[in-house]
Amino acid sequence: MTNPIYGRCLCGAVEYEILCKPVFSANCHCRDCQRSSGGAYAPVMLVKKDMVKIQGEIKFHDVKADSGLVNSRGFCPECGSQLFEKLESMPHFVTIKAGTLDQPELFEPKLDFYTSSAQPWDFMNPDLPKARREPELS
């Protein structure tokens, strides 16, 4: 994946620039991601928080995760596009929703996780490794 990586919300009121390679790229199949995305999963990239430059206002909505910790989903207050997520369990990182990239073809998922919550109508890439819960990142 080349750097920098650019993205934005649907209306363009929020734009961002990623200045590093993602630490982790995967498809999350947890129920929170299903509900918030309206789809089978959320394609996400984990990046160092200080390596993301954001222009525009972001509104956050807090959700209690399965772990009992808080996940804060960041979205554009104008168009509602979900762009980011801050995880209490990883305060130095932020997730980026891959569908908001200017070049979404740059997203390369390495894993399907929370597959224990995957829907029966969700056809997952058989070539990707699977994790029933959240993966351990070292």
Please report the domains of the chain, with CATH numbers, ordered by start residue: 5-120 (2.170.150.70)
- Among left, alpha and beta (phi > 0; psi -120 to 50; other), residue 114 is left
**Mean pLDDT confidence for 86-90:** 91
Predicted model pTM = 0.88
Cα dist from 84 to 65, 97, 99, whole Å: 15, 6, 11
Quote the CA–CA distance of 62 and 39 in Å, as a whole number.
20
Q: Cβ(132)–Cβ(117) under 8 Å?
A: no
Quote the CA–CA distance of 120 and 125 in Å, as a whole number.
14
Distance of CA 81 to the CA centre of its chain: 12
Each residue's pLDDT tens digit, 44-79: 999 999 999 999 999 999 988 777 889 999 999 999
Higher pLDDT, 132 or 50: 50
